[in-house]
Structure formats: C-alpha cells, structure tokens
Homo-oligomer: A and B are copies of this chain.
Amino acid sequence: MIDEILEQVRNGSLSTEEAKNLLRQQDTSSLAYATIDYQRKKRCGENEIIYGLSKTIDQISGIMQEMTANGITRILVTRVDEEKAAAILQLFPDARYETVPQLLIYDKDSDSPLFGRISVVTAGTSDLAVAEEAACVSEYLHHNVNRIYDVGVAGIHRLLNRLDEIRESDIVIVVAGMEGALASVVGGLVNRPVIAVPTSIGYGASFHGLSALLSMLNSCSSGVGVMNIDNGFGAAMLANSILQLCREKHDGLL
C-alpha cells in the first residue's frame, strides 16, 4: 500500500498532504467509541474480531453495522451473553448464536472449503465452553475440528484410546482446568504443535485457573504454546496462523 501511494506522490498525482490523509482513511472507521481496523485482514490474515464482553449492545451492533456498510462479509463476536445476542440477532437476522461458547457469527462466506485438522481435547466435561470456543472459531476459520472431550489423566486410558485420532490431526489444542496435567501428557505423546488453554474450572487452590496456567507454562514436555486462562478463541487463532502458513508453503507461496 505504501509503495502505491509513494508512487502516486512521485508521479505528482498526489500531494503529500493528500497522501497522508489517504493513508488514514482507507484503513479505519472512526466511531465515537471505536476505531475499526480494516487493515487487519491484510496484516494479520483475518478481519478484526469483536471482543463482546464489556461492550454494550449498541456498541456491538454499531460496529457491526459500520463493518457491513464497508463491505465486510464475515464478522465474529466473542463472549456475548444470551441477552445481548438476542438483541443483536434482531438487527442481524442472518447472524447466528452459539450458546455454549457464547459466540455470535455473521458469515456470508461460510462455504469455503475446509483445510487442516485440529483436535480439541479436554480433560473434563466442565471444560466444554472453552473447548467449544476453540472449536467453533476454528470452524469459522474453515478448519476441520475433531472434538475429543473428557479424557483427562484421572483415567488416562481414555486418552490413549484416542491417541491415533489425535496423532492424525495437524494441531492439538488441549483444554484443561484444575491441575492442567493433560497438556504435558499430550505434549509427550505427539509430534504436532500443541496449544494449551488453561481453564478456570476448579475451586480453592485452583485460584480461578492459575494452577492450570502455571502447569502449562512449566510443562516438562517442551514446546507447548500457552494461552490465557479460558482463551479458547486465542488457541484457534494461533492454530489458524499455523495452518495458513502450511497452506502457503504447500501452495508454493513461500
């Protein structure tokens, strides 16, 4: 982008002042409460995704309206509770809401072919909401997802039973609360990138996920990439960047 504008400046079709304004206008929308980043897809591979937790209904729908008005056809909003979702779906009847992971998805382009295979593995049933956030975001990003739930180390044969499936995937996302041991165990059994998501499941000395987080950071199986507590979304984004890299390599781009 900067090259084109410099070229236009060079050949005189653009004044320097015009150049500066142009650079600004084309890549953001400024609302009173938000500065939407349209350059994100080019820069990071995906449109800006809306963090819904502490935003009002008006703010979320305002941003969505501005984005669609600017030609964006795929919007993902995370951490939207049911009440907010209901209100927004009134305004965006084409969107849909995933209750368990609290995702709101507006996608006019959902039939792209899927590529890559991500296993989402949880230690327990209680880790489901976080796991589904990882799984649904991965699907939104056009990847195949294999859900392997409740195979924690208290009954490790449950995991070993499904090891073949796990090893056949490209990337493994491990979601676990309490002591988070599953990440280390999986990390020691596969030769694929392992992404660990600690959850806040547990009580007492789990300290709202701190125990699982520290476990995963100190994994004796080396090379595990750790996300914030309950951040299934982030795990999907990292998996996506890895699979995009592989695809580009495969396609001979790199």
Cα–Cα, bound, A27→B55 (Å): 41
The CB with the most chain B CB atoms within 10 A, among A54, A201, A205, is that of: A205
Cα–Cα, bound, A108→B7 (Å): 44
Cβ of A215 under 8 Å from chain B: yes
Is there an interface contact between A155 and B40, defined as CB atoms closer than 8 Å?
yes
Encode contact with B along A210-225: 1 for CB under 8 Å, 0 otherwise.
1111111111111111
Which of the candidate stretches A67-75, A88-96, A174-182 sits at the interface with the other chain? A174-182
Encode contact with B along A12-28: 1 for CB under 8 Å, 0 otherwise.
10001001000110011
Cα–Cα, bound, A201→B79 (Å): 13
Is there an interface contact between B9 and A154, defined as CB atoms closer than 8 Å?
no
Cα–Cα, bound, A87→B238 (Å): 41
Is there an interface contact between A223 and B240, defined as CB atoms closer than 8 Å?
yes
Is there an interface contact between B217 and A228, defined as CB atoms closer than 8 Å?
yes
Cα–Cα, bound, A138→B210 (Å): 30
Q: Which residues of B contact A7 (CB under 8 A)?
A: 16
Q: How many whole Å from A237's CB to the nearest CB in chain B?
A: 3
| Minimum CB distance partner of A189 in chain B | B43
Q: Which residues of B contact A240 (CB under 8 A)?
A: 223
The CB with the most chain B CB atoms within 10 A, among A185, A218, A250, is that of: A218
* Beyond known contacts A40-B154, A205-B229, A206-B218: 19 more, CB 8 A cutoff: A10-B12, A43-B155, A43-B189, A48-B154, A59-B125, A152-B220, A154-B187, A170-B254, A178-B218, A181-B185, A193-B242, A205-B217, A210-B214, A211-B215, A223-B235, A223-B238, A249-B249, A249-B250, A250-B250
Listed by A's residue number, 21 A-B pairs whose Cβ atoms lie within 8 Å are A9-B10, A28-B161, A33-B149, A33-B150, A34-B125, A37-B154, A37-B155, A39-B155, A44-B221, A48-B154, A54-B126, A154-B220, A154-B222, A156-B156, A179-B216, A192-B245, A193-B245, A217-B226, A217-B228, A225-B227, A249-B249
Give A contacts to B, CB under 8 Å.
3, 6-7, 9-10, 12, 16, 19, 23-24, 27-28, 32-35, 37, 39-40, 43-45, 48-49, 51, 53-55, 59, 63, 79, 123-126, 128, 149-158, 161, 170-171, 178-181, 184-185, 187-195, 198, 200-231, 233-238, 240-242, 244-247, 249-250, 254
